[in-house]
Structure 1
Amino acid sequence: MKKVNIGGVPEHFNLAWYLTLKNGEYKAENINLRWHDYHGGTGAMCKALRSGEIDMAVILTEGIIKDVIDGNPSKIVQTFVETPLNWGIHVAADSKFKSLEDIKGTRAAISRYGSGSHLMAYINAKNNDWDLEKDLKFEVISNLDGAIRGLTEGKADYFMWEKFTTKPIVDDGIFRRIGNCPSPWPCFVIAVREDFIENNNDELKTILNIINQTTADFKSIPSIDKTIANRYEQELEDVQEWLSLTEWSQTILDKKTIQNVQDQLFNLNIIPKKVDYDFLIHNVE
């Protein structure tokens, strides 16, 4: 049986992986797929792909594009979630900050450099015409728990994370959300180490076929909204809103989208150069 290590954030976007694993669908195809939670998000997964700790990752589009250009020996094989990620912009509940203008020039909590919380801070700054040199400051906090401590203890001033994941923290009166910043591209892709692609193409194709069959019908799974609400401790109405806004994908990331992501990252000085489509993408056949 072929062992395959895959990483992702422990959030509702990835429930389809849990369901297919629970059903034993990979083992039925002689694949021992092992899921690893990465609470540190995309930056932590980029590091794990580089080291060979994992073979595959369900990872933020902007983060993996930056890291592949920076030398990560991986390729994007598919879009996983087609719709943008809606990043909530949060401050501590008792913070003096009330608006986006108030946090200009203050410290953004980020899970790590190169993570989505880091890169999207640039997108938010650009959207609000901030000076990218003067108005962006960062404090590394590792993960969501670190952000709660960082904002509550005053080590950082604001934190960007997917708004439905943080909604319970807002409801509990720990965070206050002062704005939103949708990513300007599909949010999650599946990235795979190049050496794994070269040596395990059939297994990779099988894994993608299994997960794609599940995501294609995900919203029609009986009581899926209640399952998500219970598993991720969210309000049912919030889950229903999230499901109405979210579309999964079973196709490859197109050239126009890759160009758009690179154009924006390059213009923000996040990547040093733009590369060809084939440098970033592998079409599994």
Structure 2
Amino acid sequence: MPEQLRIGFVPEHFSTPLHFASTHHALPASLLPFPSGTGHMVQALQAGEIDIGVGLTEGWVAALGKAQSAQQDAGFKVVGTYVETPLCWAISTGAEREINGVEGLRGKKMGVSRVGSGSYVMGFVLADQQGWLGSGNRGEAPFEVVPLNTFAQLRAGVNDGAADFFMWEHFTSKRYYDNGEIRRIGEIYTPWSSWKIVAADKLLSPSSPSKVTSELAAVLESINKGVRHFESNQEEAVEYIYTNLDYSEEDAREWLKTVRFAQDVRGVDKSVLEKTVEVLGKAGVLEKEVTAGDMAGMLRSEAVKWI
């Protein structure tokens, strides 16, 4: 009997449809939490510790692009679209720190979970939007990058001086604004849909019309059912989020108004990958020209071939 597939995920509110897929729709895989985010899942995929990852678009594309530039195989490709809406990254500092806005961040220490994670990548995007990346320092952030691994350590870091600021998803951060632990100084939205599904190369099948193995196909269909359950059972979703995750009931309800999951998670739009590559190249995250199409294990145009 083949070993059960392993899915890496971030244990935040966005994971609720995955929970429903597992509890209500016989998800043929085990769920392994990665609270430190997408960068950690990249490492786990490449180490063979997980087979599938559900994480942030910018983290996956950055890792795939860097592997291309180094003429290496990243070990995985993008096979699905999980969330259609962009992500709002809140920018936070310590409760007592004398930093009052984004304009004061140049030259400061930026806390990130891991180099290559979404929190790292979006720092470069912020710097580009602020005009801090000139042609003479392409790929070099105008602040020191301080890896702190987890959200809890990031919050501690901006209060004890290890870092001056960090970026994390808005609703995940909000509870800690409300209790006074950290202070919000700004926000930035991703210019792309926020969450994608990737799979290890072993789950891709060039001989299959849908480009993936039957095992991966079954996982993606179960996630589709989890999304449909989420949309049809909003009260159950709210209760799960505020009971099992680190959110208030009010914040869970507010988040539901902002998020839109993919109606069919199978496949990725090439245009989204191209947009992400374009922005990450401009921001200096990707230093060489890379081919967005080569990052896709399955395009949405191929998903319609499934029976």
TM-score category (smaller protein): over 0.9
Contact (CA 8 Å) 1:6, 1:54: kept in 2 or not? yes
Q: Distance in 1 between matches of 2:234 and 2:86?
A: 25
Alignment check: 8 A CA contact 1:77 1:190 kept = yes
2:38 matched residue in structure 1: 42
Q: SS at the partner of 1:7?
A: strand
The match for 1:21 is 22
- Whether contact under 8 Å (2:127, 2:283) holds in the other structure is no
Match of 1:57 in 2: 53
Aligned to 2:277: 262
Deviations for 1:11-64, whole angstroms, at most 9, x for unmatched residues?
0101111122123613xxxx3x11111121111000001111000000111111
Is 1:272–2:272 an aligned residue pair?
Answer: no
Aligned residue number for residue 243 of structure 1:
256
Q: Quote how far apart the aligned CAs of 1:233 are.
A: 3.4
- Distance, in Å, in 2 between the alignment partners of 1:156 and 1:107 is 5
Summarize deviations over 1:151-199 as a string: whole Å, max 9, x none. Answer: 1111100010001011111111111011111111011100000112239
| Counterpart residue type for residue 145 of structure 1 | A
Aligned to 1:253: 268
Is 1:6 aligned with 2:7? yes
- Spell out, residue by residue over 1:194-242, the C-alpha distance to the aligned partner (whole angstroms, 9 max, x if none): 1122397111111111111221342320512233122223222221221
Q: CA deviation at 1:277?
A: 4.1
Is structure 2 residue 223 aligned with structure 1 residue 211?
Answer: yes
- 1:109 counterpart (93, 108, 111): 111
Q: Distance in 2 between matches of 1:241 and 1:100?
A: 25
User: Residue 275 of structure 1 aligns to which amino acid in structure 2?
Assistant: V
The equivalent of 1:230 in structure 2 is 243
Distance 1:174-1:129 versus aligned 2 partners, 3 A rule: same
Q: Determine the C-alpha separation between the residues in 1 that align with 2:143 and 2:76.
A: 29
Count of residues in Structure 1 that have an aligned counterpart in Structure 2: 280
* 1:76–1:191 CA contact under 8 A, matched in 2: yes
What amino acid is the match of 1:267? K
TM-score (ref. length: structure 1): 0.92
TM-score of the pair, normalised by structure 2: 0.86
Classify the secondary structure of the residue corresponding to 1:95.
coil
1:97 correspondence with 2:104: no
**Which amino acid in structure 2 is aligned with residue 179 of structure 1?**
G
CA distance in 1, matches of 2:96, 2:291: 47
| More moved, 183-192 vs 95-104 | 95-104
Q: For structure 1, which runs of at least 5 residues remain unmatched after alignment?
A: none
Q: Which residue of 1 aligns with 2:209?
A: none
Deviation at 1:258, TM superposition (A): 1.3
Indicate the SS of the match to 2:204.
Answer: helix
Aligned mates of 1:24, 1:119 — CA distance in 2? 34
Within 2, Cα distance between the matches of 1:277 and 1:119? 17
Partner of 1:158: 165
Instruction: Between 239-248 and 215-224, report the one with greater CA deviation.
Output: 215-224
Give the partner amino acid of 1:244: K
Output the CA distance in 2 between the equivalents of 1:180 and 1:266. Answer: 21
Label 1:212 to 1:155 Cα distance change in 2 as closer, same or farther (>3 A).
Answer: same
**Unmatched runs of 5 consecutive residues or more in structure 2:** 68-72, 207-211
Cα drift, residue 257 of structure 1:
1.4
State whether residues 19 and 226 of structure 2, in contact with CA within 8 Å, keep that contact through their aligned partners in structure 1: no
Change (3 A) 1:277 1:64: same
- Residues 238 and 134 (structure 1 numbering): CA distance in 2 closer, same or farther, change over 3 Å? closer
Asked if the contact 2:84–2:261 (Cα under 8 Å) also holds between the matched residues in 1, the reply is yes
Q: Following superposition of structure 1 onto structure 2, how do residues 58-137 of structure 1 map, counting pairs within 5 Å?
A: 58-69=54-65, 70=67, 71-131=73-133, 133=140, 135-137=142-144
